[in-house]
Amino acid sequence: MYSLKNYPPFLASEFPTERENSLFHIIPIPLGQSKGPEKEVRKGPSAILKASRKLEVFDGKSIPAETGILTLPPVNCRGRIEEILNRIADQVEDIFQQERIPVLLGGEHTISNGAFLAILRQIEDGAVNVGIVQIDAHGDLKESEEGSIYSNSCVMKRAVDMGFPIYQMGGRSLSSGEIDLRKERNIPYRDARELCGGSGVKEITLSPDFPDYIYLTIDVDGLDPSIIPGTNRPEPGGLHWYQTLNLIESLAERYRIIGFDIVETAPGKKDKISGYTAARLTYNIMGIIARHMDE
Ligand SMILES: [Mn+2]
């Protein structure tokens, strides 16, 4: 059993959450595989949900909560990682089948692999028609780390191996092996220096052949650590607040976002900013998606 005190429904303090036919279904996933202090990332989903109680419903443009927000119980993150990823995939698949939008709250970045698995299960004729757009300071393109192919540094390599077209945004700390893989596989990207330097890019055009349907995976370290400091691998020079929202809005204008995740939020005990900002980010992305649903 889990406690509602630690996992309150998103925006529980406000009105039309938890209603039937909610557009957004939130899955809290408290995964932290590390045995060291980095395992604190498993408290991220709870921090985001608790902080969401302080949100006001207007996001600056609309009231995303009017589309309905359902918060599911947290995924059981005990056992083998393959089993955990299957549990996540089952939940996400169920949401796709109801034609709703899954919102995964991590937890470490590895949880996205569960969503990728669910997307693959939806594909009938073998042609992958969903691309994955990643906002992240890192490549996460390693084959394995510390003996595991399911480390958070490997999550996008698994996506590539599954056959997904991917697009990387905000990168600024990559290994030479990851740079080689980008070249080898022709992986498109816009790194932070190009996106965030100077006056800052506000709109993004993905590769011409990128699929119309996209899944968005947001590692909060893709944003500048002045925006969300509470994360395990903070890296200077990231995306700023309105830049992040503008870039995502520009994606929503051209592509259909079928689901998204916010991962790697790891606020320390005295950190009052990171959980709240991740909740605000989650909520404002719901707003962006809701406003572009009918187009
Ligand atoms: Mn990452």
* 1, part of any domain: no
**Å from CA of 219 to ligand 1 middle:** 5
pLDDT of residue 126: 73
Q: Give the mean pLDDT of the chain.
A: 94
Instruction: With a cut of 90, say whether residue 14 has pLDDT above it.
Output: no
**Å from CA of 140 to ligand 1 middle:** 6
Domain of residue 132 covers 24-291
**Å from CA of 199 to ligand 1 middle:** 25
Q: How far apart are CA 31 and CA 43, in angstroms?
A: 8
Could you read off the pLDDT of 47-57 as tens digits, one per residue?
999 999 999 99
* 126, part of any domain: yes
Please state the pTM of the whole predicted model: 0.96
**Å from CA of 93 to ligand 1 middle:** 23
Half-sphere exposure of residue 214, counting CA atoms within 13 Å on the CB side?
29
**Å from CA of 40 to ligand 1 middle:** 15
Q: Indicate the number of domains in the chain.
A: 1
pLDDT of residue 18: 64
Task: Kindly state the average pLDDT of the residues 205-232.
Answer: 96
Task: Kindly state the average pLDDT of the residues 168-193.
Answer: 98
* 186, part of any domain: yes
* Cis peptide bond upstream of 60, omega within 30: no
Instruction: With a cut of 90, say whether residue 294 has pLDDT above it.
Output: no
**Tokens 């996400």 identify what position?**
92
Residues near ligand 1 ion, CB 5 Å cutoff: 109, 136, 140, 219
pLDDT of residue 145: 95
Confidence of residue 15 (pLDDT cuts 50, 70, 90): low
- Burial label, 58 (beta-carbon count in 10 A; 0-12, 13-18, 19+): exposed
**Å from CA of 294 to ligand 1 middle:** 31
Which amino acid, residue 80? Answer: R
**Å from CA of 60 to ligand 1 middle:** 28
* 277, part of any domain: yes
Could you read off the pLDDT of 115-154 as tens digits, one per residue?
999 999 998 777 789 999 999 999 999 999 999 999 999 9
pLDDT of residue 198: 83
CATH number of the CATH domain containing 205: 3.40.800.10
Q: How far apart are CA 276 and CA 261, in angstroms?
A: 16
Residue, of 22 and 12, whose pLDDT is higher: 22
**Å from CA of 14 to ligand 1 middle:** 31
* 210, part of any domain: yes
Could you read off the pLDDT of 40-49 as tens digits, one per residue?
999 999 999 9
* 240, part of any domain: yes
**Å from CA of 218 to ligand 1 middle:** 8
Instruction: With a cut of 80, say whether residue 295 has pLDDT above it.
Output: no
